[in-house]
Amino acid sequence: MGMSVTEHSYQVPMHHVNAEPSLRICIQGFGGNSACEGPFAVGTQIIQFQHRVDYVIQGFSGFSEYTFQDDVQVADVGNGTDDALWAAAAGSIGYVRSGANVGGNTGIFSKAAENNLAGLIFVNKHANCGQIEANDCVPIFKTSRIDEVQDANGGTVPSELPFIAMSKDAGEILEQAIFNATGTTGVLEMLMDVTNDQERTIYVPCGEIRGKSSEVVIVGGHHDTVYHGQGAVDDTSGTASVLEIGRQLSQIVNETGKPERTLRFCTWGGEEEGLYGSRAYVSAFQNSLKDDLRLYLNLDMSHVDADTANRGNSVTLIGNHPDDMDHLARITELYRNERSDVADRYDIQLRTLDGDDPDSNGMPDNSDHAPFVYDLGDERGRAVICYGSGSWEYHTYADTMERFNEESLGVSVTIYGTYMRFLAYSDS
């Protein structure tokens, strides 16, 4: 008995970084009369920011080729809540400080498009500060809901509106050189070779163990990462867990025989730009999933950082159906008793979110379970998810294997794998 493999591919909107970007400030010598570069650059100071560490390109950023000669102005938009500042920034690169709720990346990217800004810089002054790099707040990659930004831009993708996030320290250097200069005001160069108005192919590979019925239990995680980091925790941890559950269940099926239900193991592409892989898959198989989906199990950052003493040790198992949560409570109890060597090191929590609204008491809509829950018609699809803890490096260049704690993956692999095995051979 074996596992059959299918590779699905989908064309989806996607931005693509074509080349290393460049972000520099020139403070011209000779009271602003010297050139920025070349043999006539006398007394000129060039500040160079480091890609990935000082700044990262944001999801669906547009292209730019602003050189020192272009002398594009940078406008302080405060925390992004003042419409007058947005209007005044037309034609300039808007500089937004974190700290206010202006609808996240989608909100400020839309404001920048609506007000015809030449570019957008978001400086991180609040997230992960002092946790990764001295006292700095390391820049985080985030995506935008591109359809909303398109609406704000009159129906098209803002393909010439570059959008980056900066670290706190890099932002302060920019503020000093451009907004608070004591001498000559600095000039910004912003070269962002990205394409944001094309579709790209993403892949969804699935393994399947066919059961006696077409009713299906699916486990998945996303294999893409943010473009500028390794994505060790987000989400190599999840895809490794999917492969391990698949390996063990194959072995069990070989020993025990054909399961009652069909078991499927998938990894998703395009998650970080907006759940594109799982959405396309659910849309392609909508009818059969409506009839046959028994449960979708999502593993996205099901990982606990190795430094549990300083970063916490919680693993939270969340589901949207009380029957599933009853079974999981029983299995978790068994796990605590029989695998106390591992279980004792983690604070395993169970939560039921059985509402209809991701913003209040429903399943969140921030990972690949969302299409399974919310896109299968009126009835909510059944899903469980697992959140680990302690990944301060989330969506930064520092999400590397150095912080990996493979033992912690065992919690969700064992509990969810056991539940999959139970569902495989029972009619519950």
- Rounded to 5°, angle at Cα 416 from 293 and 389: 115
> Please, what is the minimum distance in Å from the beta carbon of residue 413 to Zn ion?
17
Alpha-helical regions (H) of 366-405? 369-374
For Zn ion, the closer of residues 62 and 274 by Cβ is 274
Asked whether position 189 contacts Zn ion by CB under 5 A, the answer is no
* Site size toward Zn ion, by CB under 5 A: 3
Answer for the pair 146, 113: CB distance below 8 angstroms, yes or no: no
Asked whether position 368 contacts Zn ion by CB under 5 A, the answer is no
> Please, what is the minimum distance in Å from the beta carbon of residue 378 to Zn ion?
28
Asked whether position 273 contacts Zn ion by CB under 5 A, the answer is no
For Zn ion, the closer of residues 136 and 234 by Cβ is 234
DSSP string, 280-313: HHHHHTHHHHHHHEEEEEEESS--B-S-HHHH--
For Zn ion, the closer of residues 114 and 234 by Cβ is 234
Among 169, 235, 305, 393, binds Zn ion (CB under 5 A): 235
- By CB under 5 A, the residues from 290 to 309 that bind Zn ion are 300
Pick the piece of the chain touching Zn ion (CB under 5 A) from 54-62, 150-158, 227-235, 357-365.
Answer: 227-235
> Please, what is the minimum distance in Å from the beta carbon of residue 82 to Zn ion?
33
> Please, what is the minimum distance in Å from the beta carbon of residue 224 to Zn ion?
8
- Convert 151-187 to b/e letters by CB count within 10 Å (16 or more is b): ebbeeebbbebbbbbbbbbbbebbbebbeeeeebbbb
Residues near 416 by Cβ (< 8 Å), separated by ≥ 6? 219, 245, 297, 299, 317, 384, 386
> Please, what is the minimum distance in Å from the beta carbon of residue 294 to Zn ion?
24
What ranges make up the beta strands (E) of 320-367?
Answer: 347-352
Sketch the per residue contact string, 313 through 352, with Zn ion: x for CB under 5 A, - otherwise: ----------------------------------------
Residues near 91 by Cβ (< 8 Å), separated by ≥ 6? 73, 116, 117, 118
> Please, what is the minimum distance in Å from the beta carbon of residue 420 to Zn ion?
21
- Tell how far CA 25 is from the center of its chain: 29
Q: What span, in angstroms and rounded, lies between the C-alpha atoms of 124 and 139?
A: 6
Using a 10 angstrom Cβ sphere, with 0-12 exposed, 13-18 middle and 19 or more buried, the burial of residue 362 is middle
Query: What is the chain's Cα-based Rg?
Result: 24
> Please, what is the minimum distance in Å from the beta carbon of residue 231 to Zn ion?
8
Among 234, 368, 393, 399, binds Zn ion (CB under 5 A): 234
Residue 151 φ then ψ, to 5°: -55, -45
> Please, what is the minimum distance in Å from the beta carbon of residue 115 to Zn ion?
32
Pick the piece of the chain touching Zn ion (CB under 5 A) from 107-115, 172-180, 229-237, 275-283.
Answer: 229-237
Q: What span, in angstroms and rounded, lies between the C-alpha atoms of 275 and 338?
A: 36
Asked whether position 224 contacts Zn ion by CB under 5 A, the answer is no
For Zn ion, the closer of residues 234 and 324 by Cβ is 234
Which residues in this chain contact Zn ion in the complex, by CB under 5 A?
Answer: 234-235, 300
